[in-house]
Structure 1
């Protein structure tokens, strides 16, 4: 259960937040939205793919942490097993919420029911004068920076779509024995389309700094086999 409320210096004057790497709250989320700044560091651990909102047509970049819905193989226990972590994992229990749907002004909110929030342990959010502590200022700055990065990522995804570089990919996995799994609804960069781009369009990708992102994404697809193996091991241990 969550209780997301706007952060207020009077109502939450004594609250503290404990930082930890217990990401088990994501255990039923197998696709984690990421920003382009995550591509290169995360590519060594997670397959990076794109999913399409069927209503808006907007593409979202995601890190695959499971091959089946509702099973994140990395977050089944409080112990995070990987060396790299998506930027968004550091938000909680704080978040940004728009005041209005068409308004850029945002509230900093907190999940007051989170186990990371208490009055006894952790980093204080407000000082004795009701002013934001340096900790809260830094956390707020991270939220704002990440919101900007998500907007930047959305723009890049739209650029890839406009260039027709995204293609629907179906993956067939062998989970041992006779069990097979087909992964559908995932988009990847079309390598043939990329290679066929005219020189001026390819150079445009290079000048925009997008080639390292594309190659990180393509390289990350080699992690799917390892992800499937992790799923098999998790199933065996249940």
Structure 2
């Protein structure tokens, strides 16, 4: 796994091994400083009906086109993490964020996955009170991480199928946002796509039925609902000072 291929947040992910990591532990207090500079993160299908109540859910191109939750209007700014590393009270925390510092790594033929941990994460310590192994056996913390990553991987695959279907049906259209903050400052955000509602409503009946059977319809409606969250992002941005460049 090269540095260029690393997903957001991860710096030195490696396989978790009992022999090597017998004294590894996780910090008990959740600190989200690692996500403070992320103005978007991937979202998976299973959480879209929750995330749509807080964040605009958009689509971005890449090696694998994906759905994302927009966390901020400026590059390098997450409006939901404060200076203390606390996530905004009452705001849903995306699964991608909650998964960290764990992640699955695929083998070469993508047939198997290995549980990995980012040894550079501030939450990863040696000799703490929340060990990952006891007497060479995984603790509840490790078993929970494995189950979470396994569930995440399955939902990620289904989400990728949904996004690919939307692209194939030509429903995804380029969009941009031009907003004005309370102090008159103007911001522009581009490079994302949305589902064209008119095109979606014009889907042939057979195609619409296939989408219903695959479970895609709630995801489309969650996306539509989420668009109303642009206004709250503008309000949050207006209330936060402009980041000072180093």
Is TM > 0.5 for Structure 1 vs Structure 2?
A: yes
The 1:193/1:18 distance shift into structure 2, 3 A limit, reads: same
Gaps of 5+ in 2: 1-9
Name the CA distance, whole Å, in 1 between partners of 2:50 and 2:183: 34
Alpha-carbon deviation of 1:70?
0.8
Residue correspondence of structure 1 range 110-129 to structure 2 within 5 A:
110-128=117-135
* Aligned counterpart, 1:179: 185
List per-residue Cα deviations over 1:40-63 (Å, max 9, x = no partner).
Answer: 00111111010112xx4x321000
List per-residue Cα deviations over 1:184-213 (Å, max 9, x = no partner).
Answer: 111111101011122222222222222211
Alpha-carbon deviation of 1:214?
0.9
TM-score by length of 2: 0.87
- Given the alignment of the two structures, is residue 233 of structure 1 paired with residue 242 of structure 2, yes or no? no
- Given the alignment of the two structures, is residue 45 of structure 1 paired with residue 54 of structure 2, yes or no? yes
Q: CA RMSD in A?
A: 2.0
Alpha-carbon deviation of 1:222?
0.5
More off after superposition, 4-13 vs 223-232: 4-13
TM-score by length of 1: 0.89
The 1:67/1:118 distance shift into structure 2, 3 A limit, reads: same
Name the CA distance, whole Å, in 1 between partners of 2:142 and 2:215: 33
1:32 to 37, 41, 45: 41
- 8 Å CA contact 1:175, 1:228 repeated in 2: yes
* Aligned counterpart, 2:151: 145
* Aligned counterpart, 2:32: 23
The 1:210/1:3 distance shift into structure 2, 3 A limit, reads: closer
Residue correspondence of structure 1 range 157-176 to structure 2 within 5 A:
157-176=163-182
1:133 to 130, 136, 139: 139
* Aligned counterpart, 1:93: 101
Name the CA distance, whole Å, in 1 between partners of 2:51 and 2:89: 10
Name the CA distance, whole Å, in 1 between partners of 2:243 and 2:65: 35
Residue correspondence of structure 1 range 188-227 to structure 2 within 5 A:
188-227=194-233
Alpha-carbon deviation of 1:171?
1.8
The 1:98/1:201 distance shift into structure 2, 3 A limit, reads: closer
Name the CA distance, whole Å, in 1 between partners of 2:16 and 2:29: 20
Name the CA distance, whole Å, in 1 between partners of 2:107 and 2:212: 38
More off after superposition, 18-27 vs 211-220: 18-27
Alpha-carbon deviation of 1:13?
0.6
List per-residue Cα deviations over 1:68-127 (Å, max 9, x = no partner).
Answer: 111111124311114211112222222222233x33323322222332122343422112
Name the CA distance, whole Å, in 2 between partners of 1:172 and 1:213: 25
Aligned residues: 233
